[in-house]
Amino acid sequence: MNIQPHLLSALEQLSSQLDQDCLLTDAESLAHYGKDWTNSYTPAPLAIAFPKNTPQVKVIIDWANQHQVAIVPSGGRTGLSGGAVASNGEIVIAMDKMNKIINFEASTKQVKCQAGVITEQLQQFAQDQGYYYPVDFASSGSSQIGGNIATNAGGIKVIRYGLTRDWVQGLTVVTGAGEVLELNNGLIKNATGYDLRHLFIGSEGTLGIITEATLSLTRQPTNLTVLLLAIPSLDSLMPLLNSFQKEVDLTAYEFFSDQALDKVMAHHNLPCPVSERAPFYCLLEFDATNDDVLEKALACFESGLENELIFDGVMSQSQQQAEDLWKYREYISETISSRKPYKNDIAVTPNKLTDFLSQVDTIVSEQYPSFEAIWFGHIGDGNLHLNILAPEDMDYADFTQACEQVNPQIFALLKQLGGSISAEHGVGLLKKPYLNYSRSDAEISYMKSIKAVFDPNKIMNPGKLFD
């Protein structure tokens, strides 16, 4: 892009305040760091900055305020809502070089790290210390901790371990006004008024930049065991969940359709995991600490068979078998990615889930008769992923438009049930037009007021979440 002379001079000044090669303006870098996994927008940032510490982040934000240049925070860029898109001459703050584990305190089971630490890196560090960081999802090998916190990432183990929010004990942030704040300092008890830490969790980079985080760890699970069940209908989902939850502590309760299974088996050349195919499947994971837990799980399985809630099922007998069963669920997103699915990441409370699924399935069948719908999700916490696959002979813009025309019907149902238009992918750009289906006018007004306090010049990730 052509840079105005006064900004070119200002960029040279900024570059001199950062480490060597920490400010890039070449076309390849702009294209790479200016987008996320949505691939729906053309990246056009002004420059990419790579700070190495909190003071350097403050330098960049102060510079941006001085020159009225917008900022887009960039972590692993694995988002699916356009939250990390820079398409209007922004400066991207990429956290890739802020990737250090700072310290670990065994007495409190807390680890402090920079925001650019990869999720999988933190998980491995925890394991090396004999502990466990349980927030886990498909992009853990490339997502960064700062981005996880900024979107309050969930994933596959929320039913047992909760969201990212539940593991954040402290944050260092630089606000949009350039103030460095140390929030909560790892305290377990702190009754001193508003906990500003929680405003930054889920804020999608609209208030400032998270630079460091203090996170809790927990004990490692013992003998994680997986049950994959073939079920006759959606009506089996909640009775089975209730049955198993009474007897064992589930770490995951996932769901996917037979169409999803079919595509995973074909794409990865995997055998059918059960002897009898079914319309839907659920995958349960639990910590089999002793034989008594296994016996209780088997008793729930047998009861499900007797009550015709289950057609068939298989239980892992080793860690490798557990990992192999997880593939049928975890490979779904990768398998269908070439079809450029239109994604809806939605949620209701689990007690409303079966009715909601049935009603949405009716809407999808009526409105998308020629489209293929792939369902999967985290049933244990009420989070569903609806993926509509683009026909191979249809123009993608026309396909997207057709999907967007149906969104109001699905979101109106969500609003009626008190649900969320975005359970774990954030709002960003893609879901911004629908925010009012999950948030009242009063809530949105308060959120805008909060942003004005932390970001008075409106430079932080503008146009994301709300205008």
Exposed/middle/buried for residue 187 (C-beta within 10 Å: 0-12, 13-18, 19+): middle
Residues 164 and 206 in one domain: yes
Question: 35-50: per-residue pLDDT in tens?
Answer: 988 877 899 999 999 9
Average pLDDT on 5-24 reads 91
Per-residue pLDDT band at 137 (split at 50, 70, 90): confident
Angle between helices 319-330 and 258-268 (to 10 degrees): 110
In a domain, 118, yes or no: yes
Q: Which residue, chain included where needed, has tokens 């409105």?
A: 367
- Residue 34 and residue 124 share a domain: no
- Whether residue 217 contacts residue 126, with contact meaning beta carbons closer than 8 Å, is answered with yes
Residue 143 confidence (pLDDT) above 70: yes
Q: Residues 153-165: pLDDT tens digits?
A: 998 999 999 999 9
- Nearest Cα neighbor of 65 from 367, 457, 377 is 457
Residue where a domain stops, chosen among 165, 195, 219:
219
pLDDT of residue 205: 97
Regarding predicted confidence, which is higher, 340 or 226?
Answer: 226
Q: How many domains does the chain have?
A: 4
Comparing 12-16, 34-38, 99-103, the range with the smallest average pLDDT is: 34-38
- 2 pLDDT exceeds 70? no
Confidence (pLDDT) at 338? 85
| Listed residue (62, 55, 91, 67) closest to 462, CA to CA | 91
Does residue 5 or residue 343 have the better pLDDT?
A: 343
In a domain, 412, yes or no: yes
The two three-digit tokens of residue 251, written as one number: 């770490």
Instruction: Give the closest residue to 175 by CA, choosing from 375, 452, 445, 389.
Output: 452
- Domain end call among 317, 333, 349: 333
**Backbone CA torsion sign across 382, 420, 356, 38:** negative
* Contact of 387 with 342, CB cutoff 8 Å: yes
Residues 166 and 237 placed together within one structural domain of the fold: no
In a domain, 453, yes or no: no
Question: Which domain covers residue 37, as residue numbers?
Answer: 5-96
Residue 79 scores a pLDDT above 90: no
Averaged pLDDT score across all residues of the chain? 94
Label residue 456 by pLDDT band (50, 70, 90).
very high
178 pLDDT tier (thresholds 50, 70, 90): very high
Write down the pLDDT at residue 1.
58
**Which pLDDT score, from 0 to 100, does residue 361 have?**
86
Percent of the chain with pLDDT over 70: 99
- Measured CA to CA in angstroms, residue 97 lies from 115, 119, 141 at distances of 9, 15, 16
> Mean per-residue pLDDT for 116-130?
97
DSSP per-residue string spanning 253-311: EEEEEHHHHHHHHHHHTPPPSSSS--SEEEEEEEE--SHHHHHHHHHHHHHHHHTTS-S
Q: pTM of the prediction?
A: 0.94
Confidence of residue 370 (pLDDT cuts 50, 70, 90): confident
Q: Is residue 455 part of a domain?
A: no
The closest alpha carbon to 18, from 49, 43, 63, belongs to 49
- Residue 87, Ramachandran bin (φ over 0: left; ψ between -120 and 50: alpha; else beta): alpha
Asked if residue 168 is part of any domain, the answer here is yes
Q: Which of 78-92, 115-129, 342-356 has the highest mean pLDDT?
A: 115-129
CATH code, domain carrying 59:
3.30.43.10
